[in-house]
């Protein structure tokens, strides 16, 4: 009987090889040939694309280029590189003395293969998580009157604190506190209003618990005050784009940050959100936010990225994002996904917000299997249980 092996990683392949009466010395030689990688570059010059084609073919790999590249009738074009790790290590060596900007591509390839050797470490507050071993659950606590799912439910400080403590008891690793609604069509609010909503809740939780807290805000003033009151993580839906001081504040307090993708602002983000290439555009935007964070002095192991489910996307786009989520691993940092109760689930199942838990759990599990490291949810107890099963399937238990 022929069995198709579904190899998740090189360790899995080594284990399968080790189950045979095989010469152990051959395993390190053969195993790297069993992992296949496909990379797509951003636009590079036609001369650079031609060099990449020649180099990959010469070492036994493959490179797809535009038919106009060979005649240089276009100035630039993306290329798709295909090969094993062995091919790419040879490519890295061959690009040492190349021009046309290929040195940058070489560095990116080197960084990718170096990152694969390391654990997926995330630092937040006084905690260090190995996200290759456990998916974290972030509980959503909206202290707003108008959020799409739980608006008005936690406007009372005591109720908010009790809700946070309940989520902690149910297994949440982080509580994400938001004082400004970011639902489609939402108007921005003043700093003072947002401050009056979130700060009493933060202080109330800190009085009773040591759970890690995140502040969901696009305002550097709110972030700074929250960080001064013991919050460890800033969740910025704008990816550091709305407030030019946000990156500096996060860096100043040596805090952690979530960089999310959004097109437009909550007020107008759902007005005809069209993309030529959805994943390319999300990745390019997140890459810019990532560079801004690093340039501000934010440490790489304190950075998370979020593709922004429901933020400036058509509802079907969100399924595409979850399907190809692993491609965002190109940036080498952990991924946060927040599918909880959102309209892409409601539109598919024709269900109101409060009846979307099964769809939310399905999205969470698929996200984990496609590369998510942290899931941001309303229904903590049910999600924690689902995450444990998904982690076990992925071999993280």
What pLDDT score was predicted for residue 331? 92
Distance CA 99, CA 109 (A): 16
Distance CA 82, CA 61 (A): 6
What pLDDT score was predicted for residue 207? 97
The SS3 call for residue 39 is strand
What pLDDT score was predicted for residue 146? 66
The SS3 call for residue 42 is coil
- Which residue, of 115, 139, 172, is where some domain finishes? 115
Distance CA 215, CA 202 (A): 9
Residues 329, 210 within the same domain: yes
Fill in the DSSP letter of residue 234.
E
The boundaries of the domain holding residue 374 are 121-393
pTM for this model (two decimals): 0.90
Q: At 91, which CATH number?
A: 3.30.1370
Mean pLDDT of 351-361: 96
Residues 225, 311 within the same domain: yes
Contact 226, 179 (CB under 8 A): no
- Which residue, of 75, 90, 115, is where some domain finishes? 115
Assigned token pair, 396: 């993280």
Smallest CA-to-CA distance from 336 within 201, 234, 265, 209 is with 234
Distance CA 332, CA 121 (A): 11
Q: At 352, which CATH number?
A: 3.20.20.20
Residue 78, in any domain of the structure: yes
Fill in the DSSP letter of residue 276.
S
Percent of the chain scoring above 90 in pLDDT:
79
Place of tokens 């700060």: 199
What pLDDT score was predicted for residue 150? 58
Tell me the per-residue pLDDT of 168-218, one tens digit each, with 9 for 90 and over: 999 999 999 999 999 898 999 999 999 999 999 999 999 999 999 999 999
Residues 129, 91 within the same domain: no
Residues 281, 375 within the same domain: yes
Tell me the per-residue pLDDT of 106-130, one tens digit each, with 9 for 90 and over: 999 998 888 776 678 999 999 999 9
Residue 22, in any domain of the structure: no
- Which residue, of 60, 82, 115, is where some domain finishes? 115
What pLDDT score was predicted for residue 325? 96
Is the pLDDT confidence value at 9 over 80? no
> Residue 111, Cβ neighbours under 10 Å: how many?
13
Is the pLDDT confidence value at 148 over 70? no
Q: Where in the sequence numbering do the catalytic residues fall?
A: 342, 376
Is the pLDDT confidence value at 147 over 90? no
What pLDDT score was predicted for residue 116? 73
Mean pLDDT of 217-243: 98
Residues 334, 233 within the same domain: yes
Tell me the per-residue pLDDT of 248-306, one tens digit each, with 9 for 90 and over: 999 999 999 999 999 999 999 999 899 999 999 999 999 999 999 999 999 999 999 99
Residues 75, 99 within the same domain: yes
Tell me the per-residue pLDDT of 298-339, one tens digit each, with 9 for 90 and over: 999 999 999 999 999 999 999 999 999 999 998 999 999 999
Residues 46, 137 within the same domain: no
Quote the number of domains for the chain: 2
Contact 261, 239 (CB under 8 A): yes
Residue 19, in any domain of the structure: no
Distance CA 100, CA 392 (A): 46
Residue 287, exposed/middle/buried by CB under 10 A (0-12, 13-18, 19+)? middle
Distance CA 214, CA 237 (A): 13
């Amino acid at each position: 009987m022929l069995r198709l092996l579904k190899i998740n990683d090189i360790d899995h392949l080594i284990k399968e090889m080790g189950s045979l009466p095989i010469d152990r010395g051959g395993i390190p030689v053969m195993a790297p040939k069993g992992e296949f990688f496909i990379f797509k570059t951003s636009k590079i010059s036609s001369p650079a694309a031609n060099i990449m084609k020649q180099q990959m073919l010469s070492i036994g790999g493959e490179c797809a280029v535009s038919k106009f590249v060979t005649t240089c009738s276009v100035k630039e074009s993306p290329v798709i590189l295909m090969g094993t790790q062995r091919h790419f290590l040879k490519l890295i060596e061959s690009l040492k003395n190349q021009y046309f900007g290929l040195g940058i591509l070489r560095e990116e390839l080197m960084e990718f293969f170096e990152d694969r050797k390391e654990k997926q470490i995330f630092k937040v507050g006084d905690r260090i998580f190995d996200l290759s071993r456990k998916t974290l659950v972030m509980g959503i606590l909206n202290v707003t009157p108008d959020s799409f799912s739980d608006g008005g439910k936690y406007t009372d400080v005591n109720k908010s604190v009790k809700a946070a403590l309940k989520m902690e008891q149910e297994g949440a690793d982080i509580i994400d506190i938001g004082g400004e609604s970011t639902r489609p069509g939402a108007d921005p609010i003043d700093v003072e209003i947002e401050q009056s909503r979130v700060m009493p809740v933060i202080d109330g939780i800190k009085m009773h618990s040591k759970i890690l807290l995140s502040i969901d805000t696009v305002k550097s003033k709110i972030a700074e005050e929250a960080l001064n009151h013991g919050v460890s993580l800033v969740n910025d839906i704008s990816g550091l784009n709305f407030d030019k001081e946000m990156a500096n504040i996060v860096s100043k307090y040596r805090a952690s940050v979530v960089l999310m993708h959004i097109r437009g602002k909550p007020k107008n983000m759902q007005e005809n959100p069209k993309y030529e290439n959805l994943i390319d555009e999300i990745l390019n935007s997140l890459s810019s936010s990532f560079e801004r964070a690093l340039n501000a002095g934010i440490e790489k192991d304190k950075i998370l990225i979020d593709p922004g489910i429901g933020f400036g996307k058509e509802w079907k786009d969100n399924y595409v994002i979850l399907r190809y989520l692993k491609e965002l691993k190109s940036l080498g940092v952990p991924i946060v996904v927040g599918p909880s109760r959102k309209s892409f689930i409601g539109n598919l199942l024709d269900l109101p917000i409060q009846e979307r838990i099964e769809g939310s759990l399905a999205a969470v599990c698929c996200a984990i299997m496609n590369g998510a490291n942290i899931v941001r949810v309303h229904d903590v107890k049910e999600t924690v249980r689902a995450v444990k099963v998904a982690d076990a399937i992925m071999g993280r238990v």
